[in-house]
Structure 1
Amino acid sequence: MPDEQQRPAGRPRDPDVSERLIAAALEEYARTGWASFTMQGVARRAGVGKSALYRRWATKEQLLIASVESVALPLATTTDSGNLRDDLTEVATRNLRHFLDPTGWATLRITVDFTAAPTMLGPFQERITAASRASITTVFTRAINRGEIAFDVPVLPLAQALVGSILVHVLSMPLDERDDARQNTAAHVEPLVDVIMRAATPHPSP
């Protein structure tokens, strides 16, 4: 077998091309949905040849899995700030920025499309749901271990309430307010976190 260094020099690979293709895939899916999502459309949106795309992912399913995981991983991670309110604020801020980003709408569309094609889109929807649930579950588990909240707090409904309220907040937001939401996330997430905190933490007896 010839030595790797003896191969003829070819066109150098763009170190950012994979990131561009993943971003293009999410934007393309957000625009077209599963039925019209194609490798050709992704390559065109990214401004690269189809060969560059197929060298990395052989099918649109593989490409979409990689793309979903690129946004799911940040949603699933969280740092320990030492208290429940700050932890929830961090998670809420990350979700708000996710839904304000064009690529974030791809995850929402996958979830909606899943109702029409559950078998085909199941693996993608499961990754999105698991990522969103993991971060908030971790936050509440830490709060239980610190003694901030009771062990029987209904974690899943509270997690769904927080993510759902953020999504509805973005959906109802006029376009001209979205730049403000990106710049002043605290003002947008604090009222939502307050609702969850009141539901999760014990209230003193009158």
Structure 2
Amino acid sequence: MHTKATLFERVSAPDSGVLERLDADTLSQRIVTGAFDEIATHGWQRMTMHNVAKRSGLGRATVYRRFPSKDDLLEAVVLSEMRKYLAANAVARVGLSHEQDRIAESAAFAVEYLRAHPLLNRMLETEPETLVPSLTSSALIGFAREFIAGMWRQEIHGDEPITAERAQHLKAVAEIHVRLTLSFLVSQDSAIPLATGEDARTFARRYLAPLLTA
């Protein structure tokens, strides 16, 4: 099935029930962890449900009861990793009161976290034809955009109501951030210096922060 659709097309978050099932089911968490390790080691194409079961210390029947196919399992892996990234990104900005500082820290965290991510690095190295189209899927971009826009709205405006125009602006800037991050992840050859977290902070303060306050 993965040859007919990008890996993230089936992700329907933020209203997907996958994360809720993971939170409530420790066996599912073990399976997802096993799948992550298997993909990071051998790649998506070579991952088998049998090997995932072995890594999880569970029987294949248990794996298939919770995830009937590789696509179902991958959906859970993607959502789990995305949630970890977004949650950790939010923590990295705790204690920063100025919008520009929060955006700068978010950009620095993204560069350092994603470039060191074992699963992404493995697939970019061995299966770019599978991963790259998936990183630009509307499901993935939409999930990250809505999460970031909602986070910014709370950080900047709190519980105060905002206009529809302002809400749309936050979503637009959030999507720009998401698309830029994914672009730099896929193709690191750039005239923009982003080799270090401090490079990312400088770029964010100079180019990204003004968009949010425009």
Same fold (TM over 0.5): yes
Aligned match of 1:64: 74
Amino acid at match of 1:22: A
1:23 aligns with 2:36: yes
Judging changes above 3 Å, is the alpha-carbon distance between structure 1 residues 113 and 141 closer, same or farther for their aligned structure 2 residues?
Answer: closer
RCO comparison, higher one (Cα < 8 Å, 6+) = 2
Mapping for residues 4-43 of structure 1, pairs under 5 Å: 18=31, 20-27=33-40, 31-32=43-44, 38-40=48-50, 42-43=51-52
User: 160-169 or 137-146: which moved more?
Assistant: 137-146
Moved over 6 A (4+): none
Rg: which structure is higher? 1
User: 20-29 or 157-166: which moved more?
Assistant: 20-29
Aligned match of 2:102: 87
- Measure how far apart 1:110 and its partner are: 5.6
Count of aligned pairs: 164
Amino acid at match of 1:68: V
Alpha carbons 1:73, 1:131 under 8 Å: kept: no
Aligned match of 1:55: 62
Runs of 5+ consecutive residues of structure 2 not aligned to the other structure? 1-28
Q: Which digits, 9 at most, give the CA deviation of each residue in 1:73-111, with x for residues without a partner?
A: 123332453332232234323432125413236699567
1:190 aligns with 2:192: no
1:200 aligns with 2:200: no
Distance 1:68 1:167 in 2: 15
Judging changes above 3 Å, is the alpha-carbon distance between structure 1 residues 52 and 94 closer, same or farther for their aligned structure 2 residues?
Answer: farther
Identical aligned residues as a percent: 14
What TM-score, normalized to structure 1? 0.56
Judging changes above 3 Å, is the alpha-carbon distance between structure 1 residues 54 and 133 closer, same or farther for their aligned structure 2 residues?
Answer: farther
- Measure how far apart 1:54 and its partner are: 4.4
Q: Which digits, 9 at most, give the CA deviation of each residue in 1:121-145, with x for residues without a partner?
A: x9xx73x335422442134313541
Q: Secondary structure at the match of 2:118?
A: coil
Judging changes above 3 Å, is the alpha-carbon distance between structure 1 residues 131 and 111 closer, same or farther for their aligned structure 2 residues?
Answer: farther
Distance 2:212 2:135 in 1: 31
Judging changes above 3 Å, is the alpha-carbon distance between structure 1 residues 114 and 140 closer, same or farther for their aligned structure 2 residues?
Answer: closer
Give the alignment partner of residue 98 of structure 1, picking from 91, 114, 128: 114
Distance 2:181 2:110 in 1: 7
- Measure how far apart 1:67 and its partner are: 0.8
Alpha carbons 1:99, 1:167 under 8 Å: kept: no
Q: Which digits, 9 at most, give the CA deviation of each residue in 1:8-42, with x for residues without a partner?
A: xxxxxxxx96464132354379x446xx75424x5
Amino acid at match of 2:149: T
Aligned match of 1:75: 85
